[in-house]
Structure 1
Amino acid sequence: MWVEDWASRAACKGETPDALFVRGAEQNKAKAVCAGCPVRTECLAEALDNQIEWGVWGGMTERERRALLRRRPGSSWRSILETARTKVEVSV
């Protein structure tokens, strides 16, 4: 099920924003916060659909997100990720 108010449930909600907008090796620490987040998919879809350029969102760096956007420009990432999540939930 897709969570509309995902930000209130995010694993990073208690983190300082500066911890998620870092460069280099520090990004791995930020990505670790995302690893067990219950709304990681919603967060990633938000960043991709709005082409957010900075920070770690949904466990992906800006470079990783740019690569996805280049592969599927103009896509609705919410739709793609929501469909993928549904397929995984059904198969489990």
Structure 2
Amino acid sequence: MWVDDWALRAACRTEQPDQLFVRGAEQNKAKQVCAGCPVRTECLAEALDNQIEWGVWGGMTERERRALIRRRPTASWRKVLESARDREIAQVTADA
């Protein structure tokens, strides 16, 4: 299920914004905040669909996001990521 009000549930909601908008090795620390976030996919889709250029969003740096956008410049990332998550859930359910 897609969460439209994802920012209210984000693991980073209590972090200082300066900790998520960093450069270099500090980005790895910011990405760790995203690792267990329940709305990581929604956050990433927001950043990709709106081509947000700065900060770590959904566990990806701006460089990582630019690479994805170059590969699929016209994609609706919400649809892509939602579909991938649905397939993963279906596979886990089938395997159970």
1:41 equivalent in structure 2 = 41
Give distance in 1, aligned partners of 2:30 and 2:74: 27
1:69 equivalent in structure 2 = 69
Q: Deviations over 1:46-87 (max 9, x none)?
A: 000000000000000000000000000011000000000000
The number of residue pairs the alignment matches comes to: 92
SS of the equivalent of 1:38 reads coil
Q: Whose radius of gyration is greater, 1 or 2? A: 2
Normalising by structure 1, report the TM-score: 0.99
2:57 equivalent in structure 1 = 57
2:2 equivalent in structure 1 = 2
Give distance in 1, aligned partners of 2:38 and 2:10: 7
Give distance in 1, aligned partners of 2:65 and 2:13: 21
Normalising by structure 2, report the TM-score: 0.95
1:82 equivalent in structure 2 = 82
1:8 partner letter: L
Give distance in 2, aligned partners of 1:30 and 1:65: 15
Q: Which of structure 1's runs of 4+ aligned residues deviate more than 3 A?
A: none
Unaligned residue ranges in structure 2 (runs of 5+): none
Unaligned residue ranges in structure 1 (runs of 5+): none
2:75 partner letter: S
**Aligned Cα root-mean-square deviation (Å):** 0.3
Report the CA distance between 1:90 and its aligned residue.
Answer: 0.7
